[in-house]
Amino acid sequence: MHQCSDGDDGEVSVRSSHHSEKLKTNLTSRLNRIEGQIRGVKGMIEKNVYCDDILNQISAIQSALNAVGKLLLESHMKSCVVERIQEGDTEVLDELMKTMSKLIK
């Protein structure tokens, strides 16, 4: 689990999260694979690979990005959101709803 903070001096500023090393490693690994897949799609386009094959790769990339988003969202909800609600900050729910709407477009 990670902790959330509003800044070093307790003053509300840009919020940050401190993810566990396990989560950071997992997310970084997944993003590195996605980055490689994107480079692969670029190469496929340059080599005039059949469009359907490229579209299938794009679909796989979108699924992989969704999986990264779900992991991060789960972590966020279990830590930052819970913490802010416990502190009486219910605005986090509006923020969460907006974020979720963007994720599930």
pLDDT string in tens for the chain (105-residue length): 444 555 444 444 466 776 789 999 999 999 999 999 999 999 999 999 999 999 999 999 999 999 999 999 999 999 999 999 999 999 999 999 999 999 888
Please give the Cα distance from 5 to 96 (Å, whole number). 16
Residue 9 domain-assigned? Answer: no
Q: 31 in a domain, yes or no?
A: yes
In this structure, are residues 58 and 44 in contact, taking their beta carbons and an 8 Å threshold? Answer: no
On whether residue 4 sits in a domain, the answer given is no
Residue 5 resides in a domain = no
pLDDT at residue 103, as a whole number: 87
Task: Determine the structural domain holding residue 62 and report its residue range.
Answer: 22-103
Report pLDDT for 9: 46
The answer to pTM > 0.85 is no
Contacts of 94-100 spanning 24+ positions with Cβ under 8 A: 99/73, 100/73
The CATH number linked to 46 is 1.20.58.1000
Residue 66: inside a domain, yes or no?
A: yes
Q: Is 14 inside a domain boundary? A: no
Residue 75 lies in a domain: yes
Structural domain total, the chain: 1
Q: Is 59 part of any domain?
A: yes
